[in-house]
Structure 1
Amino acid sequence: MTGLPRPAEDLLRELAPQVLGALVRRYGAFDACEDAVQEALLAAALQWPGAGVPENPRGWLLTVASRRLVDQVRSETARRRREDALALATPQSALLGHAADTRPDADRDDSLALLFLCCHPALSAPSRIALTLRAVGGLSTAQIAAAFLVPEATMAQRISRAKQTVKGLGLGPAPEGAERAERLAEVRQVLYLVFNEGYTASGGDGLTAPELATEAIRLTRLLHRLVPEDAETAGLLALMLLTDARRPARTGPGGELVPLADQDRRRWDARLVAEGVELISRTLPRGRVGPYQLQAAIAAVHDEAGSTEDTDWPQILALYELLERFGPNPVVTLNRAVAVAEVHGPAAGLELLATLDGDKGVARNHRLLATRAHLLELLGDRPGAVEAYREAARRTTSAPERRHLTERARRWEATR
């Protein structure tokens, strides 16, 4: 979208899922509709800088995308019957010019239904993430591949397979009742995974992938706007805002990892902290509390503290205990062990960590080893801390984390 002023570029990103949702609802053929929308966005990027943003930009994009879709169908003689049906369903104004689509349903926002479709249970978790970022987020295949450190061809195949899977599903109305709650949970999970990958990249030379975290927040804002009554969606957005607020302080001048306890809290984004605290403070009293709301409350306690020493660790421990009631979760137990160590001492934290040694999902994970090393350090067991730090460094796939853990081991070994 080079050449467009930032407000117009943001407008295109906001409108893209709405236009795609409208096309899929009308015509089906998810993959062809997605291609048509991409062509319409390119046409806008080329024409709007000179001609100006149309009075009805959404209608303009919908008309152009519809025309591109018809052109695609016409070019495929093997799909002549589909062409005839589509041509009958498309007004001549869409075929002959770029006047804005003025049909009664042109202003209907299908963004929520599109999110449900991209996060359909028939897709694997990686496919849901890839398709959501491509179709709803508007990221290019190359951008998504780079963020997840896979070859572009691999990501293209993943997205292509996902499109084929959802091709026959159609874009029905957003579900209601229990099905709606279940599908919303799937959408939130996808957005949470995208954010986590952006905030702490699972591999590569960079600690973070800011474009993914930013996109996850944008899409969660969209979801919150579509379902403002859903407390867990509000909690997820608050969690992202409160966590991302710390990102400027998470790395030093050379890109090295800076732990929370050592961060310069003056570098935290005060605007995001204030927004996140206000959102979770408004959401928690409204009704049934869920995991994202509790995690956001924990993040708020951290963000409102002036230092690690000033942190209300008993409150954080109580929140983690509530969080664990939603089901066994080794990551939550891992974090609760840190809070236990702050409240009851490192020996108590290590005792809780020992309960995870038999969990195959985390027993050999570098985060368990890094947490054990930290608690051994607090206990004064330097040889044990050095060994745990070194083993954690060997197991992580993140270069910044490996350097940080190796440096911690070196530092403690030097003080023997």
Structure 2
Amino acid sequence: MTPAIKCLILLAVVALLFVTEMIPLAMTAVLAAIACSALGLVPENQIFLGLADSTVVLFGGMFVVGAAMFYTGLAQKVGGAVVKLFGTNENSLMFGLMIIAAVMSAFLSNTGTTACLIPVVMGICAQAKLSASRQLMPLAFAAGLGGTCTLIGTPPNILANVALKAAGMPELQFGFFEYAYIGIPITVAGIVYMMFLGKYILPEAKTDEVADVEQEIDATNTTPKKQMICGIIMVGVIGSMATSVVPLELAAVVGAVLCVLTGCITEKQAYNSIDWITIFLFAGMIPVATAMNTSGAGKLIAEFTVSLMGGNPSPYLVTAVLFGLAVVLTQFMSNTASKALLCPVGIALSTQMGASPKAVLMAILIASSCAFASPVGTPPNTLVLGPGKYKFMDYVKCGGGLVAVSMIVAIIVIPIVWPFFPTAA
């Protein structure tokens, strides 16, 4: 049995366990990592290498910084300001938070944006007596949508330019704001979907954890000085992430250390604030994503899908199929890996048809950012898993509809903005 087939079987088993939750999600991810080694898909010394991944480190640091905002009372104060602006109505809050997250994510890391806003959302929900599970998933989705609006909204966006340059087509590279032509319509459509349909699918989990934290905050020093210090640290972390002065994970860890050293949070509180389910879930799936790439499983899926289209497929069909393929892959692979895998395929197919590759590439880029139907497809989804007390199927139910909406908008808008045959137009 080839490594690619082994990987595909493993992926099917993991997907089944995720959907049924026969065992906890984090345990499934850890067992999947071990299985990757047992099947010879990754070396033994890389089974738990995901725990040292930069994104996992970023998660840990931002959990501590976010908790410090709670324990100093800063999150509640910021939440109060947002409540004054948007009110305490669940719908108006959802709308306001999604707008804020989308705008921030267009220019900042969508992971960093989500991590920074989680404590604010939790504070708002505690103050307004709302369920955090009704707001955190829309927050993560908005961060993902906003990342499609610019070249730097999500780092893998630039992979299309790399692929075009490698194919000898540097003149076709995408501009910084060119993504906005499709990113903004999809973001608007996504917000409309959540406001009028998605919100009815969201679960309503109890927020006992928020109440527990609030009780502990009453016994904690929440002086204006501590709040100011915590605010300065948070601004410094966000500024460092925005300007790329230092790597995201380094900014988060330094911020976490400063929160402890300045007394904004105790060492014990810092350790307890880390959501280990999120850490192990994300870290455990990294070897699986790596195996899909190195074993050739991802490529096998791509080649099989392309072969089903026949010898002379319509460019619209190619775009739709590649969009669907990228969406499926990105629910379990990193969007970086799915884009890196499919961009060369898209260029080759468009060249074979004599069409401009920009439409096909943009479909792949957008689809690879639509990892809304899984908690492991994109870091923002994973970050809100614990605080929102979500189950795997919550993402499938609510995020699946958002994926469908994004696909419809993409197939309509992309050919208009980037014609398949521009010279013949």
TM-score norm. by structure 2 comes to 0.24
Larger radius of gyration: 1
Which structure's relative contact order is higher, taking Cα pairs within 8 Å and 6+ residues apart?
2
Higher helix share: 2
Normalising to structure 1: TM-score of the pair? 0.24
